[in-house]
Every structure is written in structure tokens, then in C-alpha cells.
Structure 1
Amino acid sequence: MPDFVRDAVAAPSLSPVVRLLACLGLSLASSAVLAEGLIDDSHGTLTLRNYYLDRDYKDDGAKTAAREWAQGVFMNMESGFTPGPVGFGLDARGLVGIKLDSSPDRSGTELLPVSSSDKRAADEYSRLALTGKLRIGQTMVKTGDVSIFLPFAFASPSRLLPQTFRGTTLSAKGIEGLTLNTGYIDRINRRDSTDYQPMSIASPNRRFNGAATASHMAYVGGDYQVNKDLSLRAYHAEVADLYRQNTLALLHNLPLGDGVLTTDLRSFFSDEDGAAKAGKVDNRNVSALVGYRLGGHRVSLGYMHASGDTATPYVSGTELMGLSEMTMSSDFLNAKERTWQVIHDYDFAAVGVPGLRTRLRYVRGDHIELAALNAEDRKEREFQMELGYVIQSGALKNLGLLARKSIYRNDFPGAAAFRDENQTRFLLTYSVPIW
């Protein structure tokens, strides 16, 4: 077992559960019989991510830009499982972020941690994450540092290092086509942080009391693949004393002519939970995205409708998998907001260039209510361009290049969190197996 894993077992910052599982992993590794499968089926991946992010503000704010460049290094090691009806394993992930360019007057892109006193970005930051795991048949339990990619809390992939949680998750696949998921999460590790923190509610434009924290988040639900063309998902999540949320979704593909008609329906129903420390939560968010795929082209048209007295809630530091996911400059989840979008995707594999793709996207929201800023019937819009390429062969196979550009404008008051800006992102990502 690597020395850094042994050292991590003694780290005081780890929870007792993670420390116990790590010790179990060490003891199992010392036995040649039990380690069969645990070590033989293990594998590791090294990922390098070079990230440049530039927010060029176009309003009259005091800060004119947020612009930083950083290098990320991830080493992900996943063990196999011990033999027998109950298999144990241990995963480890080491993450390092290194500053390449930043300054106090343009820090704050969330690529790097920033000092609250002098606004200087850290030269580097790192963390070691351990995950114990247990497998019984088609049921998997993980505890420690976990990632969840579910509609109500999607671990954000949009900065230098991945965002993770501390807790326990269970995933079961006993029925054909059905995956059941449940979990208990008590801390979040943000994408520009090195430690676990209590969860809070996202509160741009002072939508809620963003200082209030939750002791935990619990969820239960599942995904059901009815057939190859139809899938359903339903979840219930409670962020203790902040809010609770029910999620329903349907995805369907229908062959039509020479192409495929795609339908993506999503809904989130939210209200306050327990002591309601974040304030009132009252929101219904429903959306539909209909697209047509023909050859390399896919054209989609979507509409999202928010009703109720408040904005759509989600855990700060994560992303909500609504219609506006992966927008760059705003979340389009304000109270009363009506959002239209049109998207054109093109996959150049259709013309013999696999790995090359483009996206053009226009999103417009109106009827926006910003209660804390005494503003009603406001508007926002974003035009987004994206070009990506993954090298398919040769010495640089799997090297990915991604360029993203957005032009965002709104008529919000000057104190609003989302500002007029032109945003640019460049990413180079390279992954290679190390054993």
C-alpha cells in the first residue's frame, strides 16, 4: 500500500468512518489471500487539466475583470474488491491545483482559493480524498469522499478541481433497468477549497439566507430505463433545516424520418424544511427541451417556467440539472423567471472527423423578480459558443482541447451578483492510465 495512504489514515481531519475503512483496507492488503482481487483488479489514472478563465466585465462596476490561469493534477486510484459474497475496497484520489497567473485585482474565478484579507490567490492547494467501498451483489455502498451526479445536486465539473462531498451513498441494481440511489451527506468540499464545510443554499442576488448551514443532506430515488428509448427518474432530497425538493424527469427518443426526435422533461418542486433557516422557499420549476438529431446536426428548443414566491434552490457549490445547466455567466433560476433557449450542436464524426464538436446556444430569461434588490420584470440573456476536440490516436491520444465563449447581458440593479460580461475559457485535459 502506498506510503501516502498510510499517512492519510492518521490524518486528524478524516472522519472516524473513513479512518476505519482505510485501516481495514491496509489490513486486507497485508493478506495475500484477501488481497486477491483487491489489488489485481485495481487501476489508476493520471489527469492533467490546464485551465484559463477570463471574465471581462462590461458594466460600470469597480472590478473590471476576473482573470486567472491554473494547472490541475489529479491522481485517481481505484482498488478492486476482496473475494467473497461481501467485497471490500478502498479508493484514493490526490488533487493538486497550481497557480500559473493571477493578481489581487483580478482574482475570484474560483479556479484557486483566494485570501479574504488581501484577495491574493494561493500559489497551490491540494487534498487527499479516501473512499471506502463495499459490494454485495449489485449493491454498492461508498463512504468517505464521494461524488454524486444527481438532478438536485450535480458535483460541479466546471472549474480546475472536481467538487466532492463527505458522506455515505448506496446504489442498487437488483431489478433490470432500475437503479436505486440513496445517501446521507454531511459536508461539501468546494471546487476551490481544500477542506470539508457545512452545506448552504446558493444565494446569488440575496435570494435566501446564504449564511445558514445544514447539518446534512439526505436523498432517495432512482432511475428507470423502461426501454432503450425511454428513461424516467424521480428523487426526494432534504437539506436539513434549509429546504426539501422533489425531482421528476423523463427522457425519450423517437425515430422520425431519417433522424431522431428527442424529448427531455424536468421538474423540481421545492419548499422549506424544518427550521427554515434559509428563509422561505416556495418554487416550482418545470422545463422541456425538444430536439431533432439528423446526421451530425442536433437542433434543440427549450422552455423553462419558474413559479412560486422564491427562486429555485440548490446547494451552494453544486449545479442543478435544470434546463439551464452548464450556462457560463448566470444560472437562470431567479424567481418567476421564464427562460427560452435554442441550441445547435454538431458532431464532425459525421464528416469523418471524430472527436471534433461545436455548440451554439442562446438563452433568454424574462419576468425575473429580484425581491432583495426591489426589482421586477427584469431580463437576462446569454449567447454561448463552444468548440471541442479530443485527439483520437497517436502519442497525444485522449488530449482534449475545449474553448468556450459567452456574451451575457442583463438589466439587473448594480448590486446584482450576475454582471454584464464577456467570458472566455480555455481547457486542455489529458488522461492516461498509470496501471
Structure 2
Amino acid sequence: MRVMKWSMIALAVSAGTTQFAMASSQDDSKGFIEDSTLTSKTRMLYMNRDFKNGAGNIAKPGGGFKSGYSEDWGLSELLNYSSGFTQGTIGVGVDAFAMGTLRLDGGAGRQGNGLFASKSDGSPEDTQSKAGGAIKFRLSDTVLKYGNQFVASPVFSTDDSRLLPEVATGTLITSHEIKGLELSAGRFTAISSQTGMYHDSLHLPAANIAGATYQFTDNFVGGLAASDVDDYFKKQYINLNYTFPIDDSQVLNFDFNGYRTSSQGKELARNVDNKIWSLAAAYSIGAHKFTLAHQRSTGDSYYYYGVDGDGTIFLANSVQYSDFNGKDERSWQARYDLNMATYGVPGLSFMARYITGDNISTDTGEGKEHEFNFESKYVMQEGPAKDLSFRLRSAVYRNNGNYNVASDNTDNNDVRIIVEYPLNIL
């Protein structure tokens, strides 16, 4: 991995030094202040999980759980500042963020949805806050960033599924020197969870990552990525995405994603040996989109992620509650999307999907699981509240007893209400 990492950096730098005569992002720089942006994102999230069969999230000292459901309600604010780059051959800039949460409801007997950290007495924190930043350098169309940052690599991705996003600490270089080609490489030494306000709450030893994405044609994109997480595992990823326009109102899309993961060093994730892939085919016609997807896992273990970010699972059947990534699991998905703009209500959309998985290898026999999701979302289209969104997400998840024993998944009904307001301040 180290050889690949530095080879990609060398390629990016080499490409940058041979194209100074051509127009680049750095040539177009207006300055540190002139190109600055400041954005805010306010999010309110209500989340309820109604666990079945006597399950729950908060264990009692004598055994069992305090309640059969968990319920949290909170508010978060995320401020993001991104400076421009100073003018010259090498531009210098900074990125900074400040974020915090406020608990609106949810006590010690009901928490457990990952919205708030716990105090020493087991009750959820009333407020939490965190701030950080990074310094960045730009040469031509290549950017080197060091510090606290949000990452969206398929082999190292910071999750943003609750009130606040995870934050990684490290170095990332991203190059767009060649038209249609993005190269990236980096090393990260810490990552904080969505409720962990300190530096490295996920206990990441170190992760080296590299990736490349190339736009072969207007309709075909391919990507490769790899990571090396010290004493955990090595991971490789591939993506192929092809869009076939039939006519002005009909489109076919095929999306393939695959991972290979193998443990190394101290094997802190135990013996990880897994290959997993998914293929999704989507047909869009007017306001309607129909999707079928198949996902398959093989090897001596399930697909492992988490220490490399809770968003590091770019697979079709990773949905609201389950990832359908069990050992030897095979799963199918059927999905329907409806965009109401065609019917005179722009900003309103609906989604429904059903996923079923079987053939999961456990010590007690074949595991099976299934999940139904429904989602409705409305985004304000104009006025002072433009881009304010309201979103309802619902999941009904069930599995057989064999898989319930072999995993942390328990039968439950998951309901989330999300109100979000993004605002461009500068």
C-alpha cells in the first residue's frame, strides 16, 4: 500500500508540474478572502426504535434491558468555513468547522440511537460541541490538505447519519490534473465518532488510502480504491457505473460495487476474510424509477468496517437499518422512487424498497433477514426558507433467531423525522 500511495502522489505532482502553461484552478484564484465561503447546516432529528421480542439497547445490571425501545430527539448546528487560496504558484488556505448538539428529549432509559454520548451515570449529554480545522495547499489542480476533515472515500468515509458527522484527522491529496481523472491518496491517524467529541474515539491506529476515478465517457465512470488499516485489515474496492439514455424520458443505469477485505497484523477485528459485491439496475421513466439489486458476500467472515469510518460501505443493499453484509449472505432488493415534480409538486418525493437476505452462515444454522423501508421528503423550492427540507424515514426489520444470535441486529421498527436547513452565509 505504501508503494501505491506514493506512486499516486508522484503521478499527481508530475502532472501538475507539466501543465503550468495551461489554465488551472490555481491560476483562477482570486485570493484567500475573495474566494471564501461560510455555510451552516441546522438539523433536527427525532429517532425511535421499537425493539421486538424483549430486546433493547440499555442493559440492566441484573441482566436484560431497561426498555424495549429507544427514543432520542436533538438539534445540531454545523458551521463550515472554507477560505480561498492565496495567489501565486502555490496557493495556501484553511478550512475550519464548529459544531454542536442540543438534546431536546430522551433520557437514560430510552437512549441508544447514537445521537448523544453518555455521562458517567448513564444519562445522555445535554449538549456537546466540537471544532477543528485544516490547512491546505494547491498547486495547479492538485490540493494537499492536512488536519481535521470530512472524507468520502469508499475505503475510508466519515459517517453523517445522525446529528453530527464523524471527523478524520490526517493528510489527503486530491488531483484533477488530467481531464476526467481524479487521483487521491492520504494517511489518517484518528477519527472521532458522531458522538465522540475527543480526538480519536474510534481508536484508529493509522490508515493509508489511495483511489482513482476516471470518466471514460459521458455515460461510463469507473473507480478503484484501496486502504491499509494498521493491525486491522487491507481493503480493495472497485466501482463501475454506466448510464444508457433510451430517449428524453427514459434512462437505464447499472452500478457495480465490490470489496475485498483481509485481516493483517494483530488482527484487531479478528480473522477478516471477505469478498462482497452488489449490482443495481435502475430504469427511470418520467417521474418513476424502478430498481433491482443483488448483493452477495463470500469468505470466512462478514464484511467488516467501522474503525475506518461508519460510512465505509458503498453497497446497494446497505440501507436504513441493516447492511445485509453477513457471512455468505445473499440478498435482493426491489425499490421504487417517485418524483412529484412531474405532477406539479416540485420538491416532493417518495421512496419504498424491500430487501431480503438468506444463506447467512452462523453457528446455529442458516440466518435470514428482511427489511422494508419507506421514505418521504419535501424540499422548499423558493422564498426565505428555500432548501429547508422535511424527511420521514421508516424501517421495519426482522430476522430469524439464528442471525439474531450471530449479530447485533435485532427485530425492530425504526422511525426517523429529519428537518434540515442549509444556508450559504458567504
TM-score range, shorter-chain basis?
0.7 to 0.9
- Residue aligning to 1:56: 50
> CA deviation digits over 1:175-218, x for unaligned, max 9?
1100001110111111111112164xxxxxxxxxxxxx542010
Taking the aligned partners of 1:198 and 1:103, their CA distance within structure 2 comes to 23
Q: Would you say 1:242 and 2:253 are equivalent positions? A: no
> CA deviation digits over 1:250-272, x for unaligned, max 9?
00011235511110011111111
Taking the aligned partners of 1:176 and 1:90, their CA distance within structure 2 comes to 26
Alignment of 1:7-406 (within 5 A): 37-61=31-55, 62=65, 63-115=67-119, 117-197=120-200, 199=202, 214-256=204-246, 258-316=249-307, 317-319=309-311, 320-325=313-318, 327-370=319-362, 374-406=363-395
Question: Letter of the aligned partner of 2:382 in structure 1?
Answer: S
Distance change >3 Å, CA 386–CA 188, structure 1 → 2: same
Question: Letter of the aligned partner of 1:331 in structure 2?
Answer: D
Contact kept? 1:154, 1:321, Cα under 8 Å: no
Contact kept? 1:261, 1:293, Cα under 8 Å: yes
- Percentage of identical aligned residues: 29
> CA deviation digits over 1:345-364, x for unaligned, max 9?
11112223221111101111
> CA deviation digits over 1:396-434, x for unaligned, max 9?
111011100000001135654111111100011112222
What CA RMSD, in Å, does the superposition of the two structures yield over aligned residues?
Answer: 1.6
Gaps of 5+ in 2: 1-28, 56-64
Contact kept? 1:150, 1:321, Cα under 8 Å: no
Question: Letter of the aligned partner of 2:206 in structure 1?
Answer: H
Question: Letter of the aligned partner of 2:32 in structure 1?
Answer: L
Taking the aligned partners of 1:72 and 1:410, their CA distance within structure 2 comes to 33
Question: Letter of the aligned partner of 1:158 in structure 2?
Answer: S
Contact kept? 1:45, 1:431, Cα under 8 Å: yes
- Residue aligning to 2:11: none
Question: Letter of the aligned partner of 2:177 in structure 1?
Answer: G
Secondary structure of 1:227's aligned partner: coil
TM-score (norm 2): 0.87
Taking the aligned partners of 2:204 and 2:34, their CA distance within structure 1 comes to 41
> CA deviation digits over 1:135-177, x for unaligned, max 9?
1110011111111112123321210001120011010011110
Contact kept? 1:51, 1:427, Cα under 8 Å: yes
Contact kept? 2:155, 2:209, Cα under 8 Å: no
Taking the aligned partners of 1:146 and 1:394, their CA distance within structure 2 comes to 32
Contact kept? 2:47, 2:417, Cα under 8 Å: yes
Contact kept? 2:231, 2:265, Cα under 8 Å: yes
Taking the aligned partners of 2:336 and 2:30, their CA distance within structure 1 comes to 49
Deviation for aligned residue 1:322:
1.2
TM-score (norm 1): 0.85
Secondary structure of 2:54's aligned partner: coil
Taking the aligned partners of 2:306 and 2:392, their CA distance within structure 1 comes to 27
Contact kept? 2:353, 2:374, Cα under 8 Å: yes
Deviation for aligned residue 1:91:
1.2
Taking the aligned partners of 1:337 and 1:36, their CA distance within structure 2 comes to 53
> CA deviation digits over 1:55-89, x for unaligned, max 9?
01122223311100000011111111111010001
Taking the aligned partners of 1:150 and 1:361, their CA distance within structure 2 comes to 26
Distance change >3 Å, CA 79–CA 60, structure 1 → 2: same
Contact kept? 1:151, 1:322, Cα under 8 Å: no
Taking the aligned partners of 1:155 and 1:355, their CA distance within structure 2 comes to 27
Contact kept? 2:191, 2:204, Cα under 8 Å: no
Secondary structure of 2:317's aligned partner: coil
**How many residue pairs are counted as aligned between the two chains?**
383
Contact kept? 1:142, 1:170, Cα under 8 Å: yes
Contact kept? 2:262, 2:273, Cα under 8 Å: yes
> CA deviation digits over 1:234-293, x for unaligned, max 9?
011111111011111100011235511110011111111233232211111021101101
Taking the aligned partners of 2:54 and 2:400, their CA distance within structure 1 comes to 13
Greater mean alpha carbon deviation, residues 54-63 or residues 394-403: 54-63
